Structure 1
Amino acid sequence: MTDMILHNFAISPFSEKIRLIFGFKQLNWKSVMVPIIMPKPDVTALTGGYRRTPLLQIGADIYCDTSLIAEVLEKRSPAPTLYPAAINGIARNLAQWADSTLFWTAIVYAFQPAAIPSLFGNISAEEMQAFSADRAAMRGNMPRTSLGEAKGQLSEYLRRLENMLSGDAPFLLGAQASIADFSVYQALWLIRIAPAINTIFDAYPKLLKWMDLVAAFGHHQSEVLSSADALDVARSAQSFDIDGRNFVDNHGIPLGEQVAIMPTDYALDPVVGELVIASENELAVRRQDARAGTVVVHFPRVGFQMKRAK
């Protein structure tokens, strides 16, 4: 089977979500470490502009956003499942809340001055300024939350999550782990690994026990791969994942048209290419790049928008 290549960086919460899913499913993978800030020339060669981390590459197919990446891993290895039938709907909805509302609340709390040494090591003032400028540009006009507001909201969310664990079941939605557990965990992960601020969890012993349980899945077996080698993989491969889906037309745009796809919330960098998938839950474009060759870039429907390319 074609190798699964995760383009990630060490302190990316969404990368940690997928790394733990590899562990949960006991899947081998290859790791390409990407720059934490722009420019990211090798990422751009693969995606055509999409800059969020992580990306999953399988040959010449590039999957964006962890909600879609999780679906791809589920298809590759259905057991153990991320989507137990009895809780499928609620697990997906809880995951979406965690990947958005909970994440943006937690990230403000995590990036307070006391936590920076734990998260970034011996980062210089200039490097921290560059990181802050990069993330400000990435967020654009998204509303800002103050640290005080974030702490108050986060404390309320932690109380609710503790309440979800008040019974004997080990995971948020019962006896089985689900996509909800990995999404909630990733949102809280940076806080947990920063000793100066992780005391906020002390009042929630069941939540701490649950976090240890999720962390214990580990990352399974990975092998380091260079970004240059990942580009070689893409250039020498052909997309295998564009057939077998229903065409769902919500835009009046037929397959084969040139379109631009980008997120709906932040990092609004459009990816332009030939529309090759428009299904119930996925969009994808085929594009050409001098370094990566012909690739197909895949996106989930939820959280993304598509328009005809100008």
Structure 2
Amino acid sequence: MQELILHHYPQSPFAEKARMMLGFKNLPWRSVIIPAIMPKPDLTALTGGYRRTPVLQIGADIYCDTALIARRLDRLQSLPALFPEGQEAVAASAAQFADQVLFQHAVAINFQPQGLAERFKDMPDAAKTAFAADRKALFTGGSASRLPSHQALSQWPSLLGRLEQQLSESGSFLLGEEPSIVDFAYYHPLWFVASNSAVANALDPYPQVLEWMNAVASCGHGDSTALDASAAIQIARDATPESVAVLQDSQKLPFTDPEGLTAGQTVTISATDYGTEPVTGTLVYQDAEEIVISREDDRAGEVHVHFPRFGFSIQPTG
């Protein structure tokens, strides 16, 4: 099996979700640390312009977005399952809610004045300015907008109260006695709040949530070793993307593109909420969950870039 390479940075909530999923699967992985803000020349050499964190690389196949990374990990190693059999729709829908709604609230709570002061207290003024400009650009052009902190604080008791009640009345984890994608999707925004001492008290009224967070955290990050970004790019250049036939064989349901797109067309793909920079390539495969394009890069060679269908727009060029 080719090595799993995670391109990430330590403070990223979604990267924490990916690290936890790798630990849950007990899969060894290589760690490439990327910048928190643009430019990210080594990452975009692999993705073609997609800038969000994290990205999973397996040889010359590049997986964008943790929702798709989770599916790739389940395909790689079916047990323990991130999407438990018979609960696939519930698991995907609940995880999507946490990744979008709960994450927005966690960011807004972190970005209260006292939260910002704590999180960036050791950062030089120039770096603070650069970070603010980068995040403004990140949220320009898509459907997502920043949730005001006062609204997030007002709604926080609803979100955390529901979680507290379920954990008080059900099993150890959100879909039963074993963790799933839902646990990791709910965990990472709360981890982001807990990691900021100025706002971590937002979790104090919820003892069952804190106990559950400790249980999820016990999955750990697995066994990782550092890898230089240039070495990761060379691995991509030396590898061959996974055969489309392998993807086809893995599918359980037939698929026909509702817009009539077919393999061989040149398309652009972009996220619809934030970080909407388009990636252009040749469509090589698609199904109900995944879209794959082929592209060439001077440094990385031919790579296949994989995107989830949900939350991304695909458009033919020309």
User: Same fold by TM-score, threshold 0.5 exceeded?
Assistant: yes
- Matched residue SS, 2:169: coil
Q: CA deviation at 1:120?
A: 4.5
RMSD, matched Cα: 1.4
**1:138 corresponds to:** 138
Q: Which residue of 2 aligns with 1:254?
A: 262
After superposing the two structures, state which structure 1 stretch, 233-242 or 63-72, moved more: 233-242
Q: 1: CA distance between counterparts of 2:23 and 2:118? A: 24
> What amino acid sits opposite 2:190 in the alignment?
L
Q: TM-score, normalised by structure 2?
A: 0.94
Tell me, what secondary structure is at the counterpart of 1:63? strand
Any idea what the Cα deviations from partners look like across 1:154-206, whole Å, max 9, x if unmatched? 22201111111122511122212110000000121111111221111111100
- CA offsets 1:238-291 (integer angstroms, 9 cap, x no match): 001422425522222211010001111111111100000111211010000001
Match of 2:161 in 1: 159
Q: Provide the C-alpha distance between the structure 2 equivalents of 1:242 and 1:123, rounded to a whole number of angstroms.
A: 45
Unaligned runs of 5+ in 1: none
- Rounded to whole Å, the distance in 1 between the matches of 2:273 and 2:243 is 27
1:173 corresponds in structure 2 to 175
Shift of 1:113: 3.2
Equivalent in the alignment of 1:2: 2
Q: Which amino acid aligns with 2:108?
A: V
Distance 1:278 1:89 in 2: 19
Match of 2:292 in 1: 284
**Structure 1 residues 176-195: aligned runs within 5 Å:** 176-195=178-197
Distance 2:255 2:119 in 1: 44
The answer as to whether partners of 2:23 and 2:221 remain within 8 angstroms in 1 is: yes
Q: Which amino acid aligns with 1:301?
A: R
For 1:287 and 1:212, how far apart are their aligned partners in 2? 42
1:61-119 per-residue CA deviation (whole Å, 9 max, x = no partner) reads: 00001000001111111111112224332121110000111111111111233234654
Partners in 2 of 1:43 and 1:135 — Cα distance? 18
2: CA distance between counterparts of 1:217 and 1:118? 28
- Answering whether residue 305 of structure 2 is matched by residue 302 of structure 1, we say no
Contact 2:104 2:146 (C-alpha < 8 Å) held by counterparts: no
Instruction: Give TM-score, length-normalised by structure 1.
Output: 0.96
- SS of corresponding position for 1:287: strand
1:30: which partner in 2? 30
Identity %: 44
The letter of the residue matching 1:158 is L
Please say if residues 61 and 241 of structure 1, whose CA atoms lie closer than 8 Å, have aligned partners that are also in contact.
no
2:71 maps to 1:63: no
Conservation of the 8 A alpha-carbon contact between 2:109 and 2:115: no
**Count of residues in Structure 1 that have an aligned counterpart in Structure 2:** 310
Distance 1:181 1:227, change over 3 A: same
